[in-house]
Structure formats: structure tokens, C-alpha cells
Amino acid sequence: MTNPIHIIGGGLAGSEAAWQVASAGVPVILHEMRPVASTDAHKTDGLAELVCSNSFRSDDAEYNAVGLLHEEMRRAGSLILAAADRQKVPAGSALAVDRDAFSADVTQVLTSHPLIEIRRVEVTGLPPAEWGTTILATGPLTAPALAEAIKAETGEESLAFFDAIAPIVYRDSIDFSICWMQSRYDKEGPGGGVADYINCPLNKDEYHDFIQALIDGEKTDFKEWEKNTPYFEGCLPIEVMAARGVETLRYGPMKGVGLDDPRTGRWPYAVVQLRQDNALGTLYNMVGFQTKLKHAAQVEIFRRIPGLEKAEFARLGGLHRNMFLNSPRLLDATLRLKSRPAIRFAGQVTGCEGYVESAAVGLMAGRFALADRAGMEPIPPPVTTAMGALLAHITGGAAAASFQPMNVNFGLFPVPEGKLPKGRDRKRVYTARALADLNGWLGADRAAAE
Ligand SMILES: Cc1cc2nc3c(=O)[nH]c(=O)nc-3n(C[C@H](O)[C@H](O)[C@H](O)COP(=O)(O)OP(=O)(O)OC[C@H]3O[C@@H](n4cnc5c(N)ncnc54)[C@H](O)[C@@H]3O)c2cc1C
């Protein structure tokens, strides 16, 4: 019999990867530690347990990037999407599921598959060489012993254990009649640029109103176990800094020194800076703006910043315990650990963010592992597809120095050539191109597997 492909972690990514591999006729050994050991968020021993919300977000494949990702996954024969479709509950244009029925469905499909063996065991170290190609999909709450082993292999700096996310803004929603590009004191950056930041100026009254809004804004509660996780002093939530004193932010991330507002020729009283977040230059993150404000409060408060009145957010800020790799630095284009290519990572641990994204990366990892096994070079999906755009971002498109988990969004896609329609219709150009290109990839991928 063919040697099995080992997969560690039976969450969203590991379950999808197992299905993709077994569906191609290759045996799988899936190692899942629950119920022998558990995480702080999981409550059951079911595979693909949803730890928080029961939503897979928008199911609109024409106008929404995550809806497009759903459709691409369906076309690629995804188990996670098929089970979600079978177990869905009414949720308007979103795809939401009965979480218990969903997990039971995935568990039943995988346990009854003749080519899948499920071992309920905690893996405490990196996979032994004799396992060959292995997919590691142990998620943001990877058990401590394995997390230590990964840290030893990749280096201390490569694993972030506390996820402090700052919001990301679409560049084309920023008002450049107010904002300008400049690096502080025109200092040259590593790429040679002296105008790497977008600067949004605030006068004294605007700054004081903004600080008060941060202090008053509604915050997300900490879960009991999260209370014990300390903040890193270097990435305090913005509202915690605001509460320490009215001047704290003006001497921290909001300091205006060294920046010349072209409208006044002077340094602004305070400033909000945004830094490029992807190679395409379509996304900018708000520097130092990690936050635990509720999402609605973030939109309301951050749109008070001059120049961001019409800001559209590719991702809002958040804070929870998380473990993810610095994938742009550590992984190759098909998710293999550069220092040990037999190990391929999948799911949230690669720095994608969200149930659907994690499952999508699991889907790709499963297919790539099959190509490896067949002695072929795995082919990533085109960057014009939602899967390919997400993969390209986490494995190289994102800036390694400021890498943070990322949801799929249209800012990750290359801008289509030619004149584009405005508004909603623009998105249809992206989604039609994605599905056409995906079909080509699925055909090539299938041919390679045969
Ligand atoms: C608290 C929290 C809330 C979240 N809420 C949401 C949300 O509402 N919506 C959303 O879209 N995303 C959410 N996410 C983000 C993310 O989408 C989920 O964490 C998602 O489950 C990630 O999928 P995964 O397959 O990478 O990891 P998981 O689904 O966590 O699967 C990893 C699996 O590996 C197992 N495992 C871990 N270590 C070992 C080991 N050493 N040996 C064997 N097995 C092991 C775990 O038991 C688990 O089953 C949340 C994350 C966290 C931490």
C-alpha cells in the first residue's frame, strides 16, 4: 500500500487537507489531540470544531472576496464547504451553520473514509523523518510542547504568541487632499524610499476629541483565560495607551515630529501613520493601532481621523492569543518550511485569519502534498483567484517585518488591466476573472495528479 500522508491537527485546515488527500486515493493518518488533551477554546472532541462564531461570512461569490473563496473551494471539492452547505442555518446572505451538526458531519465523513485513520494523540515534537511529507495544521492554539519544538526550529522571533491586530485600510479609500506620503524626517527606509508612510494630520482639538473617543469606545471583553496573557509593552492596544494619559499617544505612535504637512508647511499636532501592508500597495495598516475596541466602534472612531472619513477597512483590529509563523520569511510558495521542506504548514498557523481562510489553506496544502508525493512540483493557484491571492500574500506578498494574520479581501488581488467600472461592478471584474482562472488551475492540477 502507498505510504500515508501524516496530518497533525483535525481542525478546519487539517480536516480539509485530509479529505483532499484521501479523495485522490492516497491514505492519511490524521493526528488530533482532543479529547486526550485540549485547548483553551475548544469544547468538544469533534473534528473541525468552530471555536467562536458559527458564521463562514458572506456567501456572495460575485461581490465579496470570502464569498468568492467559498465558490472556489466548492469547485475544488471542499469537504468543509460541502458540510457547511449541508448544515447551514438561515443567515441572510451569509453562510452560517449549526456548529454541532457541522462538526459531526465532518467527523462522520472522515472517520468513515476507508483511507483515513484518525489517531487521538498529542504530537509533542516535529514529525520524524520517516513520516515523509507531513502537514502541520495545529492552529492558533497549538499545544505547548509542539509550539516549543516549532520555535526551536524556526527561531524565537518567528512565532507570535499574542495576536495584536491593527486595522488595514484600502489605499484608494484614503483622502489624499488631506493626507500625504512622507517618512519621518525623510529618513530613508530599507527599500530606499523616503516617503513610505501615509500621514493623516490632527490638530489639537481633533486629537483631544479622538483620545476621548478611544477611552469611551465600547471594548470587547477578555475571555477568562485570556486575562492571564500579558500584553507586550511594545504592542499595547491603542485605547489602553489613551487611558494612560492624554499625551501618551502623542509621544508614541501619534507623534507629529519630522512630518511636514504640505497644507501648512508645519509639523502637525498629532498624526496617524499608515504603512504599506502588501507588495501590490493596495493595503495600508494603521501603525500602532492594535485595538480591542468593538468593530462598530472602530469604524466610527477611526473615520473621525482627517483623511479617513471614507476609509474602507480590509480588516479591523483585534486582540486574542494566537500563534502564527512569520510565513513570508519561513515558508516557500507552496507552504513548505524552507529549513525542512518535508513539513508543510496549513491553517491559521500560517498567518491566514478565519475559518474559511484556514480551510482554504488546508485545501491547498493537501493538494500540494499530493503533488510532492507524485514527484511533481506543486502548482499554486493563480494570484488572480481568492485562494492564490491569499497564498501569495502569506508566503511572500506581505511585508515580513510587520506580518499579521490576514483575511481574504480584494486588496490582495492584482488590479485587473484596462478601464474598470466603478463601485460594486468593479468587484465583478475580479470575481469573474478569478473563477475563469481557477478552472484552468483545477484542470492542470487534476492532470498533474493523474
Ligand atoms: C479564541 C478564538 C476565536 C476565534 N474566532 C473565530 C471566529 O469567530 N470566526 C473565524 O472565522 N475565525 C475565528 N478564529 C480564527 C480561526 O479561524 C480559528 O482559530 C480556526 O479554527 C483555525 O483553523 P485551524 O484548522 O488552523 O485550527 P483549529 O481549528 O484550531 O485546529 C487545530 C487542531 O489541532 C489540534 N492540535 C493542536 N495542537 C496539537 C498537537 N500538538 N497534536 C495534535 N493535535 C493538536 C487542536 O486540538 C485542533 O483540533 C478564532 C480563533 C481563536 C483562537
Query: How many angstroms separate the CA atoms of 243 and 261, rounded?
Result: 28
For the segment 402-409, the average pLDDT, to the nearest whole number, is 88
Query: How many angstroms separate the CA atoms of 341 and 273, rounded?
Result: 38
Note the helical H segments in 249-294. none
91: Cβ contacts below 8 Å, ≥ 6 apart: 55
348 Cα: distance to centroid of ligand 1 (angstroms) = 7
pLDDT band at 414 (very low <50, low <70, confident <90, very high): very high
Read off the pLDDT of residues 288-331 as tens digits, 9 standing for 90 and up.
898 889 999 999 999 999 999 999 999 898 776 778 999 999 99
Confidence (pTM) = 0.81
CA-nearest residue, atom 31 of ligand 1: 11
The ligand 1 atom at the shortest distance from the C-alpha of residue 121 is 43
- Ligand 1 lining (C-beta closer than 6 Å): 8-14, 31-34, 39, 41-42, 51-53, 122-123, 137-143, 146, 320, 322, 347-349, 354-355, 358
143 Cα: distance to centroid of ligand 1 (angstroms) = 11
399 Cα: distance to centroid of ligand 1 (angstroms) = 24
pLDDT band at 225 (very low <50, low <70, confident <90, very high): low
142 Cα: distance to centroid of ligand 1 (angstroms) = 8
For the segment 381-393, the average pLDDT, to the nearest whole number, is 97
CB atoms within 10 A of CB 188: 11
Tell me the three cell numbers of residue 209: 476629541
Is the CB of residue 359 less than 8 Å from the CB of residue 60?
no
Side chain identity at residue 332, one-letter code: D
Give the pLDDT of residue 53. Answer: 72
Of 117, 119, 125, nearest to 147 by C-alpha is 125
The ligand 1 atom at the shortest distance from the C-alpha of residue 123 is 42
- Looking at every residue in the chain, the average pLDDT score rounds to 90
CA-nearest residue, atom 27 of ligand 1: 139
The ligand 1 atom at the shortest distance from the C-alpha of residue 56 is 11
Coil, strand or helix: which one is 387? helix
Side chain identity at residue 121, one-letter code: V
Region of poorest pLDDT, from 80-94, 254-268, 375-389: 80-94
The ligand 1 atom at the shortest distance from the C-alpha of residue 49 is 29
Nearest-10 Cα torsion for 68, 71, 76, 79: 120
Residue 26 C-beta-side C-alpha neighbours within 13 Å: 24
Read off the pLDDT of residues 337-368 as tens digits, 9 standing for 90 and up.
999 999 999 999 999 999 999 999 999 999 99
The ligand 1 atom at the shortest distance from the C-alpha of residue 31 is 43
Give the pLDDT of residue 213. Answer: 96
CA-nearest residue, atom 11 of ligand 1: 354
Region of poorest pLDDT, from 132-136, 274-278, 282-286: 274-278
CB atoms within 10 A of CB 52: 10
CB atoms within 10 A of CB 265: 7
Strands 159-165 vs 168-170: parallel, antiparallel or unpaired: unpaired
The ligand 1 atom at the shortest distance from the C-alpha of residue 50 is 21
11 Cα: distance to centroid of ligand 1 (angstroms) = 6
Q: How far is CA 140 from CA 71, 186, 324, 408, in A?
A: 25, 38, 6, 17
Region of poorest pLDDT, from 7-21, 222-236, 371-385, 399-413: 222-236
Residue 170 C-beta-side C-alpha neighbours within 13 Å: 15
Instruction: Give the CA diameter of the chain.
Output: 75
Read off the pLDDT of residues 197-208 as tens digits, 9 standing for 90 and up.
999 999 999 999
Query: How many angstroms separate the CA atoms of 392 and 398, rounded?
Result: 8
For the segment 239-252, the average pLDDT, to the nearest whole number, is 93
Is the CB of residue 118 less than 8 Å from the CB of residue 107?
no
359 Cα: distance to centroid of ligand 1 (angstroms) = 10
Is the CB of residue 169 less than 8 Å from the CB of residue 308?
yes
Give the pLDDT of residue 224. Answer: 59
Mutate to test the pocket of ligand 1, among 163, 355, 394 (most ligand atoms within 8 A of CB): 355
The ligand 1 atom at the shortest distance from the C-alpha of residue 346 is 26
Give the pLDDT of residue 99. Answer: 85
Tell me the three cell numbers of residue 256: 507629529
Residue 235 has pLDDT above 70, yes or no: no
Coil, strand or helix: which one is 313? strand
267 Cα: distance to centroid of ligand 1 (angstroms) = 45
SS3 readout for 419-442:
CCCCCHHHHHHHHHHHHHHHHHHH
Tell me the three cell numbers of residue 286: 494603521
Side chain identity at residue 340, one-letter code: R
For the segment 131-148, the average pLDDT, to the nearest whole number, is 95
Give the pLDDT of residue 256. Answer: 96
Q: If residue 342 lies in a helix (H) or strand (E), which one and from where to where?
A: strand 340-345
The ligand 1 atom at the shortest distance from the C-alpha of residue 39 is 47
Mutate to test the pocket of ligand 1, among 12, 45, 51, 124 (most ligand atoms within 8 A of CB): 51
202: Cβ contacts below 8 Å, ≥ 6 apart: 210, 254, 268, 269, 270, 271, 272, 305, 306
pLDDT band at 47 (very low <50, low <70, confident <90, very high): very high
Is the CB of residue 326 less than 8 Å from the CB of residue 400?
yes
Coil, strand or helix: which one is 374? coil
